[in-house]
């Protein structure tokens, strides 16, 4: 049984909701807590709590860091108003009175200590909460068993969104020498939710699936994307089934300045300033979509 914290920016892209749904359904996971990160983390926490309640689970949800380490929030083109308080597009008023907890950073530290050597952090948003926890108590680097990250693009020198949101935080985490398993756009872009799978899941009577599809349609209406890429669920399934992704060790450096800020420098051999992480290089798409189909049908 994996002891897990999910650190998420649920509410913008719909793939976070699918990722949380997978964890709520899995009998391989003891989901100890959910923490939210980036922009309106209170609204994000309440949305996560809504799905937890639908699953009839007793899992605490903690409000995390609003601002990245440098204090400057990156917004979407269509965002209006204060980026720190903007309501995520999937949120609705039924979530307003849901009770959530404060201080995700302290929760991460406490759970790392209570589950030393066993805790897995799944980070599917910016790395701000995890970085703040490491900065506040560097000793947790020895307590965390692994970090499963959705972020980066390791075969293309182009910034990816989760890294853009807080590249300094990602740099802090990579330097902490915690085993990192990074699922980047190299593999996730091969996994869209479309075609017959999308049509079949829309017909599901499962309560979690039906709720996610309500949120998916709000997301479609807001961003006008043609389809969802299942970035975050692919990260989750890499933990649940080791046959979904193949990981290879790479030496990686996060670019922190210039026009390529948040892109990844990658080397096959050690270099000064580079950190060793495990990067997803191959995906078994058939197995992945089979897992998605079985969990959300």
13: Cβ contacts below 8 Å, ≥ 6 apart: 219, 228, 231, 232
What are the tokens at 140?
Answer: 């947790």
With beta carbons less than 8 A apart as the criterion, state whether 104 and 215 touch. no
User: Residues 77-128: pLDDT tens digits?
Assistant: 888 889 999 999 999 999 999 999 999 999 999 999 999 999 999 999 999 9
- Which segments in the chain show pLDDT lower than 50? none
Q: How far apart are CA 125 and CA 277, in angstroms?
A: 18
Q: How far apart are CA 134 and CA 139, in angstroms?
A: 7
Q: How far apart are CA 147 and CA 133, in angstroms?
A: 13
Strands (DSSP E) found in 76-176: 119-123, 144-150
For the chain, what percentages of helix, strand and coil (3-state, to nearest 5) are there? 40, 20, 40
Q: Is 195 exposed, middle or buried (CB count within 10 Å of its CB: 0-12, 13-18, 19+)?
A: exposed
Question: Residue 118: its pLDDT value, please?
Answer: 98
Q: How far apart are CA 142 and CA 133, in angstroms?
A: 13
Question: Residue 252: its pLDDT value, please?
Answer: 98
Question: Residue 80: its pLDDT value, please?
Answer: 86
Question: Residue 77: its pLDDT value, please?
Answer: 86
Instruction: Report angle CA 3, 291, 185 to the nearest 5 degrees.
Output: 80
């Amino acid at each position: 049984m994996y002891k897990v914290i999910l650190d998420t920016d649920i509410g913008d892209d719909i793939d976070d909701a699918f990722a949380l749904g997978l964890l709520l359904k899995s009998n391989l996971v003891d989901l100890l807590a959910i923490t939210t990160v980036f922009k309106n983390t209170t609204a994000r926490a309440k949305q996560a709590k809504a799905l937890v309640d639908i699953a009839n689970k007793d899992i605490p949800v903690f409000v995390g860091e609003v601002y990245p380490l440098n204090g400057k929030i990156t917004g979407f083109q269509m965002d209006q108003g204060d980026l720190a308080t903007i309501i995520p597009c999937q949120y609705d008023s039924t979530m307003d009175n849901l009770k959530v907890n404060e201080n995700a950073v302290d929760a991460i530290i406490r759970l790392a200590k209570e589950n030393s050597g066993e805790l897995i952090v799944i980070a599917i948003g910016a790395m701000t909460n995890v970085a703040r926890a490491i900065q506040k108590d560097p000793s947790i680097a020895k307590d965390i068993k692994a970090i499963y990250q959705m972020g980066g693009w390791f075969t293309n020198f182009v910034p990816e969104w989760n890294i853009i949101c807080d590249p300094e935080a990602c740099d802090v985490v990579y330097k902490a020498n915690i085993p990192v398993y990074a699922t980047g756009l190299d593999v996730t872009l091969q996994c869209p939710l479309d075609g017959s799978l999308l049509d079949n899941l829309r017909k599901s009577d499962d309560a979690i699936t039906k709720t996610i599809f309500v949120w998916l349609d709000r997301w479609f209406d807001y961003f006008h994307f043609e389809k969802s890429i299942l970035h975050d669920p692919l990260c989750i399934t890499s933990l649940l089934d080791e046959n979904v992704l193949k990981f290879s060790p790479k030496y990686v450096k996060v670019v922190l300045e210039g026009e390529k800020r948040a892109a990844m420098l990658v080397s096959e051999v050690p270099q000064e300033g580079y950190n060793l992480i495990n990067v997803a290089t191959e995906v078994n798409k058939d197995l992945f979509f089979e897992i998605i189909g079985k969990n959300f049908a």
